[in-house]
Structure 1
Amino acid sequence: MAELPYPRVAAFHRPFSYTGVDYFGPLMVRVRRSSEKRYGVLFTCLSTRAIHLEVAYSLTTDSCILAVRSFMARRGCPVELWSDNGTNFQGACTELHGMEVHSTLISPQGRAWERLVRSVKTALESILLDKRPSDELLRATLMEAVVNSRPLTYIPLEDENEESLTPNHFLLGSSTGRGPTMEPIPEGVQLKKSWRESQQLADSFWRRWLQEYLPVITRRTKWCEKAKPLVEGDIVYVCDPGQPRSQWPKGRILKVNLSSDG
């Protein structure tokens, strides 16, 4: 019931400013006629819950540093990097401090990224049918778009055309990254105005984050009432196992069948 650390509730920061990192695996890959181990490296933004995936070829400190450098090349230098007390993370701390990154080692319990590791493993099991893929296929499979398109909240939407807030909104501007996120900019408009419009769009996502997501993760469940059951008029997703989760249709509840206990 303690308060969450500041990186979990930090708003209006660039995604991955406060990042947690963890390994998962090993993942077996096919190299010629033999099998070799690879490890997935999961980086998660502690505020927006977006993830970034890299491939490590071993559990050594050097391999860990290379994975962190690859992450920083795409997502920028984080302000803080949180990890457990693994020996490879301990060895990487010195170099990370040299790159002006504050590295924080915590105990294995209570890590915010363990649930996301499970989500990535579930997605891999459904996508990666070959149990021993090639290195190239493994890298192509370890893409973050599927996990980053998951809804952050379960609050019913007021309009069926409204999108649930997802990590991709902060990274790509929409839940899937497809289609324009704002009106096309007419010719002759200055770049300064275009930049301001993009900033307004990002601020709108952060305002939704403050209104919809932050109250959920800071809730003290011990003193909260039970979750409100579904009622007529609520907007829901219609789960279709044959379609990607980002393509599930939305529906409105027309009738609720109550059980004997209400």
Structure 2
Amino acid sequence: MADLPGIRTTEALPFQYSGSDYAGPFILKERRGRNPRKTKGYICLFVCLVTSAIHLELATYLSTDTFLPCLRRFMSLRGKCSQIFSDNGTNFVGAKRALDEMQKFLSLQEHQRNLTQSLADDGIKWSFIPPHSPHWGGKWESSVRSVKLHLRRVVGKTVLTFEQMQTLISAVVNSRPLCYTPDTDLTYLSPAHFLIGRPFTTVPEGDLTHLPINRLDYWHQEILTSLQQRRKWSNKERNIAVDNVVLVKDSNLPPAAWILARVEEAHPGPDGIVRAVKLKTSTGEMTRPITKLAVLPSSETLFQGGP
């Protein structure tokens, strides 16, 4: 497992570095009253990669024209981002029918191009993780799970209107505990502490001028110690190199039908370990994480102690 990226371990303003994803679809009522018309809606999620704070916006359609206003509303409340990360839609491997529409929208080259061009003038960099590598976006994937879990417990099968859903979705997830702090009065740290200095669900305290101004800096160091634990992927393997022949794993196909490809470019991380490569196939080029590749043996591969 790689070290945490530098943007995860460096102090920064909330949402300066963010991850984005969609959750849904959800069924919403167009109005209150008898026999209202029901439509699909989606939650557009933004998660701060430093403080784990979450900002949620409702989207009625899966389109670039709908997503950009969500992004503008988010930045008007939280401030402009320096860099935003997201997947590109092809992470939904074996997705059910309900997610097909979301997958097609996020994987459109036109959507990605319009998105990066519209934000370039604001100095905001949009970065996409490699296809078929949802573990690269674990930060926002886990946030989506938290949001869905809370909605399932609170809403259940009740169908809400747009306004009711918008009112419901934000405060609770930002008051969730991040780590335990035994030497403070609150005994836990939440994303809301980085946003407003206290949980969203508590009443404001009195005069806080006696507290040191760098109090959150100390809490930030405490949460960093809990993020550094890595319990898997600890065995070091030989790096995949240029010109290696590989099979591209596909969970929807038997191994005999996997695509054969040759490595064109290797992209090592700061520690020198390759975790994503650019491949050349008979039909074109693609980028994949090494977790989706099976390297074929060559004449230089060592077998049982000898070449």
Task: Report SS of the residue matched to 2:150.
Answer: helix
Task: Report SS of the residue matched to 2:188.
Answer: coil
Q: How far 1:218 sits from its partner (Å)?
A: 1.5
- Write out per-residue CA displacement over residues 68-89 of structure 1, whole angstroms, 9 at most, x where no aligned residue: 0010010000111111112344
Corresponding residue number in structure 2 for 1:60? 63
Please, what is the CA RMSD of the aligned residues? 2.4
- Structure 1 gaps, min length 5: 186-196, 225-262
Corresponding residue number in structure 2 for 1:162? 186
- Structure 2 gaps, min length 5: 89-105, 235-307
Mapping of 1:22-37 within 5 angstroms? 22-32=21-31, 33-37=36-40
Task: Report SS of the residue matched to 1:43.
Answer: strand
Number of residue pairs the alignment of both structures matches: 206
Instruction: Check whether the contact 1:30–1:135 (CA below 8 A) recurs between aligned residues.
Output: yes
- Write out per-residue CA displacement over residues 235-256 of structure 1, whole angstroms, 9 at most, x where no aligned residue: xxxxxxxxxxxxxxxxxxxxxx
Corresponding residue number in structure 2 for 1:14? 13
Corresponding residue number in structure 2 for 1:221? 231
Distance (whole Å) between structure 2 residues aligned to residue 118 and residue 8 of structure 1: 20
Amino acid at match of 1:215: T
Distance (whole Å) between structure 1 residues aligned to residue 113 and residue 86 of structure 2: 9
Corresponding residue number in structure 1 for 2:244? none
Amino acid at match of 1:113: W
Distance (whole Å) between structure 1 residues aligned to residue 206 and residue 50 of structure 2: 24
Corresponding residue number in structure 1 for 2:121? 98
Q: Percent identity?
A: 33
Q: How far 1:157 sits from its partner (Å)?
A: 2.1
Q: Which has the larger radius of gyration?
A: 2
Q: How far 1:139 sits from its partner (Å)?
A: 1.1
- Write out per-residue CA displacement over residues 136-187 of structure 1, whole angstroms, 9 at most, x where no aligned residue: 11111122x211111112x47257x4330110101111123634456266xx
Corresponding residue number in structure 1 for 2:134? 109
- Write out per-residue CA displacement over residues 24-58 of structure 1, whole angstroms, 9 at most, x where no aligned residue: 10111112532111110110000000000001111
Distance (whole Å) between structure 2 residues aligned to residue 64 and residue 74 of structure 1: 16
Compared CA separation, residues 138 and 219, structure 1 to 2 (3 A) = same
Mapping of 1:1-262 within 5 angstroms? 1-11=1-11, 13-32=12-31, 33-85=36-88, 86=106, 87=108, 88-107=111-130, 108-110=133-135, 111=137, 112-129=139-156, 131-143=158-170, 145-153=171-179, 155=180, 157-158=182-183, 161-176=185-200, 178-180=202-204, 183=207, 200-201=212-213, 203-210=214-221, 212-221=222-231
Amino acid at match of 1:37: K
